Chain A
Amino acid sequence: MRRSTLIAAVILAVLVVWPFVVPAYTRGLMIQTLILAIFAMSLDVQLGYTGLPSLGHAAYFGAAGFTAALLILHVTTNFWPILAACLGVAALGAALFGLLALQTTGAYFLMITLALAQVLWGLAFKWRSFTGGEDGLPGVSRPDLKLPISLWNDTTFYFFVLITFLISTALLLLLVRSPFGQALKGVRENALRMRALGYNVWLFKYLGFIIAGVFAGVAGMLFVFYNGHVSASDLSITMSGRVLLMVILGGTGTLVGPIFGSFAIVFLENEISSQIERWPIVMGAIYIAVVLFAPQGVIGLLKSWSARWGRA
Chain B
Amino acid sequence: MAYWLTQTFNGLTFGMLLFLLAAGLSLIFGLMRIVNLAHGSFYLLGAYLALTVSQLTGSFLLAVLGAAAVVACLGIVIERLFLRRVQNQELPQVLLTFGFIFVLEDIALWLWGAIPTLLEKPVLFAGSLQIGGIVVPSYRILIVVVGLLIAAALWALQSRTRIGAIIRASVDDEEMARGLGINTPRMFTWMFALGCFLAALGGVMGGALVGMYPGAGFEILVLALVVVIVGGLGSLRGAFIGSLLVGLLDNFGKALFPELSLFTIFAPMAIVLAVKPTGLFGRA
Which of A4-12, A82-90, A116-124, A169-177 lines the interface with chain B?
A116-124
- Interface residue A302 (Cβ < 8 Å from any Cβ of B): no
State which of B33, B90, B226, B263 has its C-beta within 8 Å of the C-beta of A126.
B263
The dominant DSSP class at the A interface is helix
* Complex CA distance for A278 and B109, rounded to whole angstroms: 9
| B225 with A291: CB separation less than 8 A | no
| A284 with B102: CB separation less than 8 A | yes
Q: Report the nearest A residue to B102, measured CB to CB.
A: A284
Q: Which residues of B contact A118 (CB under 8 A)?
A: 222, 226, 262, 266
Most buried by B among A53, A106, A122: A122
- Interface residue A239 (Cβ < 8 Å from any Cβ of B): no
Kindly supply a per-residue 1/0 record for chain B positions 212-232, scoring 1 wherever the CB is within 8 Å of any chain A CB and 0 otherwise: 000000100010011011000
State which of A114, A116, A123 has its C-beta within 8 Å of the C-beta of B262.
A123
| B103 with A53: CB separation less than 8 A | no
| A122 with B35: CB separation less than 8 A | no
Q: Which residues of A contact B4 (CB under 8 A)?
A: none
Within 8 A of A (CB), among B19-70: 29, 33, 35
Q: Which residues of A contact B35 (CB under 8 A)?
A: 107, 110-111
Q: Which residues of B contact A241 (CB under 8 A)?
A: 95, 98
- Interface residue A286 (Cβ < 8 Å from any Cβ of B): yes
- Interface residue B153 (Cβ < 8 Å from any Cβ of A): no
State which of B90, B229, B270 has its C-beta within 8 Å of the C-beta of A106.
B90
Q: How many A-B residue pairs have CB under 8 A?
A: 135
| B260 with A123: CB separation less than 8 A | yes
- Interface residue A115 (Cβ < 8 Å from any Cβ of B): yes
| B99 with A287: CB separation less than 8 A | yes
Kindly supply a per-residue 1/0 record for chain B positions 76-118, scoring 1 wherever the CB is within 8 Å of any chain A CB and 0 otherwise: 0000001001100111101110111111111101100000000
* Complex CA distance for A128 and B258, rounded to whole angstroms: 10
* Complex CA distance for A126 and B277, rounded to whole angstroms: 27
Given A122-B263, A126-B260, A126-B263, also A115-B92 (CB < 8 A)? no
Given A108-B277, A286-B99, also A115-B94 (CB < 8 A)? no
Kindly supply a per-residue 1/0 record for chain A positions 255-269, scoring 1 wherever the CB is within 8 Å of any chain B CB and 0 otherwise: 000000000000000
Given A115-B229, A291-B99, also A128-B277 (CB < 8 A)? no
| A287 with B102: CB separation less than 8 A | yes
Given A125-B262, A128-B259, also A284-B91 (CB < 8 A)? no
- Interface residue A187 (Cβ < 8 Å from any Cβ of B): no
Q: Which residues of A contact B269 (CB under 8 A)?
A: 115, 119
A→B interface (CB under 8 Å): 47, 53, 55, 99-100, 103-104, 106-108, 110-112, 114-116, 118-119, 121-123, 125-129, 237, 241, 244-245, 248, 278, 280-281, 283-288, 290-292, 295
What are 21 pairs between A and B in contact, CB < 8 Å?
A: A53-B91, A99-B274, A108-B278, A110-B91, A111-B228, A115-B229, A118-B262, A119-B267, A122-B261, A122-B263, A127-B259, A281-B107, A281-B110, A284-B104, A284-B106, A285-B103, A287-B95, A287-B99, A291-B95, A291-B96, A295-B92
